[in-house]
Chain A
Amino acid sequence: MELLRPDSAEAAAAALGNGSVALAGGTELVPLLRDGIVRAEKLVELRDVVPRGVDGTRIGAGTTLAELEVDPDIPQALREACSLAASPQLRSMSTLGGNLLQATRCWYWRLNFPCYLHGGDTCHAKAGQHREHAIFGNERCASAHPSDPAAALLALGARLRTTSREFSLVDLYRLPTDEERNVTALEPGEVILELDVPRPEASVYLKAMERRKWSFAIVGVAAARFADSIRLGLAGVAPIPWALSSVADLEQATPLLGTAYKVQIARALVRRAVEAVSAPAGA
């Protein structure tokens, strides 16, 4: 394996593809490389070429979750999502861009079972252990997207700027299909540079976990209010970060035997989150 240190984001993008993989904080990529789930001939180091820091509504993709969890100028939902994600050491290493592109924690996938998401034709989790898995979008692959920040950014209506285009965060994700098993729509030669995160009137992130700290979301719910409308983004409920328009949308859930409990948790968290961001009566 080789390590490339490009001197601009454009040079990094040009170097990607064909066995070259982008490396940011490495918290996701290094274990996957070691386990042979991701293969790379070259690593392209992004640390010095992707923007880092917050400037108005713009957040560099190289900003770490640790920097964001203490930033008073970003919306509360994103700050809380970063603060509740992973562990302190991981937050100091993890970039926001890498967080949005993290892969599923489904243990069958991580143990390299030839499952649907790896290109096979069955979902081992559905027939096996799936307590942590999805309640939406789980027809083929039932994995649950683990990103807390992505749920917050979805509720906030964030947009991404990459080396080749600008688009809404919603369009970064897609459910896996028979043709395309990947859950993100980033091109091989594309580097995420920054996010534009609108300022809501109020926002919040609530996360149900097995323990109070340092745990993946069973369900994470972000709510953001802009004028009279409230948008919701959920973590841990579908193979991709999942948008809902109201608590009523939870009636459309398609839980597995082992994930039915998540619907109830989601219902409670959505109610609480909506209440937390709603304008006080009479105001």
Chain B
Amino acid sequence: MVVELTINGNAYELEAPVGRTLAEVLRLDLGLTGTKIACGEGHCGACTVQLDGVPVLSCITLVHTVGDREVTTIEGLREHPLVEAFVEADATQCGFCTPGQIVTASALLAANASPSDDEIRHAMAGNLCRCGTYPKIERAIHTVAGDGGGS
């Protein structure tokens, strides 16, 4: 079955079976390997991408259900100030969760330019970090909020 996607502003058309997930298409068919698959069943947030700006889990999203919603992956957020802020705050250790963290955090900042600690914890709760970088992730988000980012 043919699927048409818009990913980070680029149009793609490919053939994919009905059971194929968006994460598999991104990584295996399109080589957009910034999106990670860790648990593969909705628990960890490593595979987070945005559909029309809303963070969702690509590992349990069937690619044929994306429809005309725009996909944003970590590759589309290269220039986002969060990337630098994560590095500055030392908010990545093994780095496996980091793409998902940044995809979720950028949606948070787009909706709420200066979130409180509680708002950050509520919005980021679905992105687990087994290295435990949470306080640094919070700091990175605050840094960007502080210098007016998130636009």
User: Across the interface, do A31 and B41 meet the contact criterion of CB distance under 8 Å?
Assistant: yes
Say whether, besides A27-B42, A47-B65, A213-B125, A89 and B104 are in contact (CB < 8 Å). Answer: yes
Interchain nearest-CB distance for A269 vs B (Å): 21
Question: Which residues of chain B are near A214, meaning CB under 8 Å?
Answer: 125-126
Once the chains are docked, how many angstroms separate the CA of A31 from the CA of B41? Answer: 6
Within 8 Å by CB of B18, from A31, A43, A89, lies A43
CB of A30 within 8 A of CB of B21, answer yes
B57 touching A213, Cβ below 8 Å: no
Establish whether residues B125 and A26, one from each chain, have CB atoms under 8 Å apart when the complex forms.
Answer: no
Closest to A88 in B: B126
**Contact B65–A27 (Cβ < 8 Å):** no
How far in angstroms is the closest Cβ of chain A from B101?
12
User: Does B78 have its Cβ within 8 Å of any Cβ on chain A?
Assistant: no
Contact B125 A88 (CB under 8 A): yes
Indicate whether A31 sits within 8 Å of B45 (C-beta atoms), given known contacts A3-B1, A3-B18, A43-B18: no
Interface size on A, residues (CB 8 A): 23
A281 at the B interface (CB under 8 A): no
Contact B62 A30 (CB under 8 A): yes
Q: Report the interface size for chain B: residues with CB under 8 A from the other chain.
A: 27
Say yes or no for A2: interface residue by CB 8 A criterion: yes
- B65 lies within 8 A of A23 (CB): yes
For B123, give its contact among A27, A47, A88 (CB under 8 Å).
Answer: A88
Q: Does A87 have its Cβ within 8 Å of any Cβ on chain B?
A: yes
Check: A34 CB closer than 8 A to any chain B CB: yes
A92 within 8 A of B: yes
- Chain A residues with Cβ below 8 Å from B57 are 27, 89-90, 93
| B64 → chain A closest CB, angstroms | 5
Determine the distance from Cα of A31 to Cα of B62 in the docked complex, in whole angstroms. Answer: 11
Is A26 a contact of B60 with CB atoms below 8 Å? yes
**Which residues of the other chain, B, contact A127 by a CB distance below 8 angstroms?**
none
Q: Which A117-170 residues have a C-beta within 8 angstroms of B?
A: none
Considering the complex, give the chain B residue whose CB is closest to the CB of A83.
B122
In the bound assembly, the distance between CA atoms of A43 and B48 in angstroms comes to: 24
Q: Which residues in window 48-73 of B have CB below 8 A to A?
A: 48, 54-57, 60-62, 64-65, 67
In the complex, whether B130 has a CB less than 8 A from a CB of chain A is no
Give A32's nearest chain B residue, CB to CB: B41
Contact A31 B122 (CB under 8 A): no
Is B17 part of the binding interface, using a Cβ–Cβ cutoff of 8 Å? yes
Known contacts: A45-B65, A88-B104, A89-B45. The answer to whether A30 contacts B54 by CB under 8 A is: no
Q: Does A1 have its Cβ within 8 Å of any Cβ on chain B?
A: yes
Closest 3 CB pairs of A and B: A87-B126, A213-B125, A1-B18
Q: List 25 A-B contacts (CB under 8 A).
A: A1-B17, A1-B18, A1-B19, A3-B1, A3-B18, A3-B62, A27-B42, A27-B60, A30-B21, A30-B60, A31-B60, A47-B67, A66-B54, A86-B126, A87-B126, A88-B55, A88-B122, A88-B124, A88-B126, A89-B56, A89-B104, A93-B57, A93-B60, A93-B61, A214-B125
